[in-house]
Chain A
Amino acid sequence: MSAEFRVIGQPRPQLEGPAKVSGQAAYTHDITLPDMLYGAILRSPYPHARIRSVDLAKALTMPGVVAAVAGTDFPNLKYVNAGPVFADRHAMARDKVRFIGEEVAAVAAETLAEAQAALAVIAVDYVPLPAVFEVEAALGADAPEIHEKPDLPRNVAQQSVSDFGDVEQAFADADHVFDATFEHGIVAPVCLETNGVLARYDTENDDLTLWAPTQAPFFVRKEIAHVLDLPLEKVHIRSVVIGGGFGGKSQAPEPIAIAAMLAIKAGRPVKILLDRQAEFLSGKTDHAKKMRVRSAVAADGTLLGRHTEFWVDNGAYTHMGPAYISAVRQRTCNLYRVGAAGFDGKLVHTNKVSGGSYRGMGSPQIIWAIETQIDEIAERLGKDKLEYRIAIANRSGDRTPQGWEIGTCALAECLEEAGRRIGWAEKKHAMPPNRGIGFASMINPSVGVLYAEGNFACVSIDLLEDGGLRVGTQSADCGTSQNTVMGQFVAEELGLDTDVIDVLHMDTDETPPDLGSAASRVTFVSGNAAIKTAKTFRAELVNRLARHWEVPAAEINFADGIASYKDDNARRLTLAEIAVLEGPFRVEDRYDIDLPRPDPKTGYGHYAATYGFGAQAVEVEIDPATGHVTVHKVVVVQDIGRVINPLALEGQMQGGIVQGIGMALREELIFDQGAPVNASLISYKAPRIMDTPRIETVFIETNDPAGPYGAKAGGEHSINPTPAAIANAVAQATGERFRKLPITAADILQATKDKAPLDLKPWKRPYNLEVATARALYPAVLFPGLRKLGAAVGRKPKPKSDYHYVRPRDLSDALRELAMPDRKTKVMAGGTDLQVGLRQGVYDAGMVVDIASLDELRGIEITEDKITIGGAMTIAEIVEREDIRAMHPMLSEGFAKIATAQIRNVATIAGDLSQEKRCWFFRSGAQCYKAGGVSCPCYAVLGDNRHHSILGAGRCAAPCVADAAPILTALEATIIVAGPTGERRIAMRDFYVWSGETTVAPTEIIRAAEIPRESCFNTQYFAKSAGWDGDFADASVAVKLGWNGSRLATANIALGAVSPLPMRARQAENFLLASDLSEVAIRIAASKSVEGALPLSSNAHKTNLLVNLTERAIRRCIAQ
């Protein structure tokens, strides 16, 4: 790092670090006010419906309720969001709801429980309307009309079509044309802190004060003042600590206006916090897209032209969809040197949650599409994929088809360095099987000109009484260290150390306007403003002293916090002394991006003061048995202009890359008729610490003349090339191109399985014919019929939050509690499933009996012939027993794969066996067969059934995912159950009954599991494949082989997570016993594990997965 700087380029820990790490930082969740009420929001259960009326009268009479509001209580005004022409959403639904989860009414009450209880009695008269969930269907002539937008085609919110240069000619001149269509689903920001707000309305002055985690207080203030029809100066946003943003907090989240209106009505402060499910249901997301990318290529590889036709799924309302249109346009026209470029993009409404913004604003996915094609061009032309990219890289002095004038640009160097660091030259000719390396690049404006209000930033500097400086910025630090970086700019400019500088963010009273933290703009725009303000501060300070000292200002020196005039000791003051002399004072200044605006319709024109470039190289390995991708190493080389704070910048790179891994391989919100079914942090699979690869971060400093100290933007740049580089690496490893993100393990398994087709004989199970017939009748007859019937007569799932909790003294006390008639009582062991399930409505109980601490259920006893494990022994306690590991390694190793450390410390063996089955329809409150009874349908038959049963499913396709089930089945355990009339013993094979229920009666308690000790030598292995390490299994198999010398004497193979109950694979066992244990025999035996399988529409990969896992487990047992 250059010695020319004092603090620029230095690693500076974040200012808020000590408060955060000690738990003292005040997030919105943590702030309370005296007399505060709790708000709760009623959400639409319909994806599309007319609202005839909302009746709040009864809710207002409920205990504790102080205020209630519905859509018509708000002014008839719409959020502006991306601009007045796009405005289409009220503060709360008025006459129509357009997605499941839309806000319909809200209540403020003394307690949260009272507010929630009051929601239940609000009567909403809905008239359901036909809904549309897919973009293609929404564009159909007979599609339901979601909004009336007369100037645009049906359900189109925006259309952007243009050619820059002669695109047609480019394709006519091309030697090669590449044409492919790419799709990706919806990613959610998943901030650890959910959205929330605390609103206070001061009725005396009509002042509304808001505490809310927002990336853009400026924007929120403007929107809230607008939709509530309040004067802007009456809306005040206060500073809070923010628990993550990533775009998810960049617009005005709906709870803010709702809490404000409740506070106005109630005359008391109101706090609303979204729970995780509501956050998924209503929090705005990334946008899904479909992109047809065409490239016109000359024989030498020159990109003559590129065209993208694309469709952006806007969801129900327009928030930042237009920015997604723009992002595709920009990548199409500017990524690599391309002769001419054209695009035809539509932003299309569907009845799903509205898209908002997420890190990269859709760039990572269009880059993935383009970079996939770049790989394919290199392959077809016989070029090295890295050298080809270097040859076509953007360079300084280029003018792109969109009119961007490229200033500093180190893309070619970035690519070269990425190639060196990943070892491309050495590895490319010696790639081991199942391994691959991929490359991708990115280009991003380091903040372009937006609309008038976004093209500037203001910063204030206060000299405080104690001589410290306080920098004020209205942009909001969501954890990125931008406050720290702002302090560094000011410190550098004034020749100070950062420790005398404090930074206040967000506060709209105390800090001057700034659009906020979005589009990676803060370092560049607000940073330039900070430098400018620091210069102004210095001038003000010097001028004040010049007056005071009666000397020329130009001759006053200010350095190291001391102002002095020549060698005059009488004219020499520290900042603290200046503060005493002059009193505290404040300066403000403003930085404007001084560029002409591009054409607002087509986006043509030079757009940003500078452009950021970077390249990534990724090495992956595929497990061919499971399709699981391990990212071994990521190299990011970023042209960053100048590194201001390497600690913060590396963090931005690493965090974005790991989010990119999630986007590439796992993350997607799954919808069923408009309802997200994986609205939880188990089934929405954000990356965990096990997924973190080695990441090498390299910065190339091009010292951009426009940037603050030469810096370019960074926040979103990191995620931009990651999915593309991973996809290209996966393509090399598998030999397959995937045109849909995420590329899941299931996709990889499904794509590669055709090379080794399975000989499925589903008809070996007599009832399969019946099941297949029923499934064939599902779409037209059974599903709609049963759905209607179920709605009329079926049980409805009842989420429960209030139940009695009993902690019995001993086992007989517990059994007495269970035996009491007329009480819906549930036994709670660890409670990790029960408590969640009660809230989800999958369990129905008015009382829980906590058996976790009962002495009779604790302890492990080992005798000569058996191990007896108390039912309330936790998974962790069992895993830690070395003696058990020595006898039954499968038990220890398998149990170690259950959930996470925190859950294993609480969850018990009895609870694992007894947990409810996993099905995301059932768990998200669908009135399905399992929840509602025989009159209801199974939602998995027609829905996304990737996790469901492939074997033995009838009316219910939910699998039994307890890992203990196959393990204890293979070990031939016996479950000992205590009941009112004494104990009984249940062999594992009889423990589960049809449809995954256990044979334990409601009045009984699992006292212990008894596992025989083996008399002869045996080997064991438990193989499991799951979405993430700790997730519920997609398939698992427990194998125990008993040996008589080298002869196989017994074979126990038990299957998990593929059927409603754990099954022994008898045919596989018998085949193995009779075989010579050759390679071929093992494979055949393994393939018999799926004999009789009848997969659903999207889980055929599980048959291969199961066979592969069985093969692997048998091999491991034989190898031992």
Chain B
Amino acid sequence: MAKIQIHVNGLKHDTDCDPATPLAVFLREEMNLRGTKIGCGNGECGACTVAMSGRAVCSCLVPLGRTVGHHIETIESLGGPDDLHPIQRKLVERGAFQCGFCTPGVVMSLITLLRRNPKPTDTDIRVALQGNLCRCSGYVKLLETISEIVREGLHER
């Protein structure tokens, strides 16, 4: 099988994985990037959201073969637990999530939104995150925290 070159978090990798493999499975199993979660495998919950050439996509519905020519960014491209991105730090401080299983996907949806639209309205934020199901938080603190992030311009740092 022909090799596929995949570009993840700034690095290029060659793989001979089946090009039909969902990107989410490849990231988790082959690259050990387990921050990308799989909550449904059908594009319904958004837990597996990554950025593909700057756009939020459900990586469970992107076949590996299609990523050629695209840059994939996962939650691991931001800060680790000891050097969190200011957005991540704010989400922790404000209790914006609880179980955390949806959180990497939420962060990736948020990052892609703020890069394209640094001053989103409440509606813009809700539209961007409608695909990210969260069962714990009721989204209230998440919405409040994002408003604060936007107000403080944390994403521009």
Contacts and interface: CB of A to CB of B under 8 A. Distances in A.
Interface of A: 11, 13-14, 16-27, 29-30, 189-194, 241-246, 275-276, 478-481, 647-648, 650-651, 654-659, 680-682, 686-690, 692, 695, 802-805, 807, 828, 830-832, 835-836, 839, 848, 850, 852-853, 876, 896, 899-903, 905-906, 1029-1030
A14 B102 CA distance: 16
A23 B34 contact: yes
Nearest to A684: B44
B75 interface: yes
Given A479-B97, A658-B139, A658-B140, 10 more contacts: A21-B103, A24-B81, A192-B101, A681-B44, A689-B125, A689-B130, A805-B18, A850-B65, A902-B43, A905-B55
B65 A805 contact: yes
A39 to B, nearest CB: 16
Interface string B1-34: 0000000000000000011101000001000011
A190 B100 contact: no
Nearest to A682: B44
Nearest to A838: B20
| Majority-rule SS of A interface residues | loop
Nearest to A718: B138
A190 B52 CA distance: 28
Contact of B138 (A23, A30, A657): A657
A23 B50 CA distance: 12
Contacts of A18: 81-82, 84, 88, 92
Interface of B: 18-20, 22, 28, 33-47, 49, 52, 55-58, 61-63, 65-66, 68-69, 74-76, 78-82, 84, 88, 91-95, 97-104, 107, 109, 113, 125-143
Contacts of A19: 81, 100
A650 B35 CA distance: 27
B48 to A, nearest CB: 9
Q: Which of B58, B75, B109, B142 has the most A CB atoms < 10 Å from its CB?
A: B58
B131 A852 contact: no
15 contacts: A17-B100, A18-B81, A21-B100, A22-B88, A194-B39, A650-B140, A655-B137, A680-B40, A681-B133, A692-B139, A695-B138, A901-B131, A902-B46, A902-B58, A902-B131
Contact of A900 (B91, B101, B131): B131
A481 B98 contact: yes
Contact of A906 (B61, B109, B127, B128): B61
B138 A836 contact: no
Given A20-B97, A682-B44, A805-B20, A651 B58 contact: no
Contact of A244 (B46, B76, B113, B135): B135
Contacts of B129: 689, 901
Contacts of A648: 95
A682 B131 CA distance: 10
A902 B133 contact: no
Contacts of A850: 63, 65-66
B66 to A, nearest CB: 6
Contact of A13 (B39, B81, B95): B95
Closest 3 CB pairs of A and B: A23-B35, A900-B131, A479-B99
A1039 to B, nearest CB: 24
B137 to A, nearest CB: 5
Contacts, number: 251
A805 B104 contact: no
Contact of B99 (A242, A658, A689, A901): A242
A903 B19 CA distance: 20
A830 B84 CA distance: 34
A680 B44 contact: yes
Contact of B97 (A21, A656, A657, A659): A21
A22 B95 contact: no
A909 to B, nearest CB: 16
A191 B61 contact: no
Contacts of B57: 902, 905-906
B92 A192 contact: no
Q: Which of A26, A27, A191, A193 has the most B CB atoms < 10 Å from its CB?
A: A193
B138 A27 contact: no
A655 B65 CA distance: 39
Contacts of A21: 84, 88, 91-92, 97, 100, 103-104, 107
A612 B56 CA distance: 43
A659 B101 CA distance: 17
A604 to B, nearest CB: 36
| Majority-rule SS of B interface residues | loop
A149 B140 CA distance: 47
B19 A805 contact: yes
Contacts of B66: 807, 831, 850, 852-853
B38 A29 contact: yes
Contacts of A832: 43, 58, 61
B46 to A, nearest CB: 6
A692 B140 contact: yes
A241 B100 contact: yes
Contact of B100 (A25, A647, A1030): A25
A213 to B, nearest CB: 9
A244 B69 CA distance: 36
B135 A190 contact: yes
Given A243-B100, A906-B57, A192 B133 contact: yes
A354 to B, nearest CB: 21
B39 A276 contact: yes
Contacts of B109: 901-902
A853 B109 CA distance: 23
Q: Which of A21, A193, A876 has the most B CB atoms < 10 Å from its CB?
A: A21
A478 B99 contact: yes
Contacts of B133: 192, 681, 686, 688
Contacts of B95: 11, 13-14, 481, 647-648, 650-651
Contacts of B140: 650, 654, 658, 692, 695
Contacts of A658: 137-140
A241 B92 CA distance: 16
A17 B137 CA distance: 14
A831 B43 CA distance: 10
Given A29-B38, A276-B39, A852-B66, A804 B20 contact: yes
B142 to A, nearest CB: 7
Contacts of B134: 192, 689
A906 B59 CA distance: 10
Contacts of B44: 276, 680-682
A680 B34 contact: no
Contacts of B142: 689
Contacts of A1029: 130
B9 to A, nearest CB: 11
A243 B39 CA distance: 10
B117 to A, nearest CB: 11
A902 B99 contact: no
Contacts of B33: 23
Nearest to B76: A23
Given A14-B95, A654-B141, A836 B20 contact: no
Nearest to B29: A32
Contacts of A276: 39-42, 44-45
Contacts of B75: 22-23
A349 B75 CA distance: 45
Contacts of A899: 131
Contact of A836 (B38, B43, B97): B43
Contacts of B28: 30
A22 B101 contact: no
A651 B100 CA distance: 13
B41 to A, nearest CB: 6
B45 to A, nearest CB: 5
A999 B98 CA distance: 49
Nearest to B142: A689
Contacts of A650: 95, 140-141
Nearest to B128: A901
A753 B97 CA distance: 41
A242 B98 CA distance: 10
Contacts of B130: 688-690, 900-901, 1029-1030
